[in-house]
Amino acid sequence: MPTLLSPANNASSIALTPQLSWTAAANATSYHVQVAEDRYFTTIVAAAGNVAGTSWTVTPPLRIDRTYHWRVRGVNTCGASDWSSSFAFTTQATAPVCSLLVDDDDNDPDLRPMYTTALNALGIAYTVFDVGSGAGNGPTLSAMQPYSNVIWFAGDKVGGNAQRDR
């Protein structure tokens, strides 16, 4: 059975996407990981199966200023071990001052440099999410929640038989 290492039990001010780590379990070929809002693991908020190594970064991002519980179990061809004892941690109390820049322009024309130049000049930290071509590829609500600002731009040319309102 794995032993939990990090974040330490009852740690506080943990990032919203923490990297969880544990010791290797004898004969384990992969691991299952669970993160829950309660110590009984009835409300699982993040989980992973078949994690090859002894660490995993939590996705999607967790909520601000919440206590979470996590545990791990080893898996091999014979089955799964018992769950490890659980650790608790509390996420950071405030959101990082960071913006999410959603690039939804299909690079036709490519407007990202205009936005990144302005954000860099202002000293604003940001993460880019490139929607790419195709409908429905934008970030989910849970992916946007950790950000204090979301800047979503679409500079795609209007094609087809679109008409201007007069």
Domain boundaries, the chain: 4-91, 99-153
Residue 104 phi, psi dihedral angles, 5° rounding: -120, 40
In the predicted structure, residue 160 carries a pLDDT above the cut 90: no
pLDDT digits 0-9 by tens, 3-16: 999 999 999 999 88
pLDDT digits 0-9 by tens, 81-96: 999 999 999 998 876 5
Residues 6+ apart with CB under 8 A from 119: 99, 101, 126
CA-atom Rg of the chain in angstroms? 21
- Amino acid sitting at position 55: S
pLDDT digits 0-9 by tens, 22-60: 999 999 999 999 999 999 999 999 999 999 999 999 988
Q: Domain 4-91 belongs to what topology?
A: Immunoglobulin-like (2.60.40)
**Range 129-137 average pLDDT:** 72
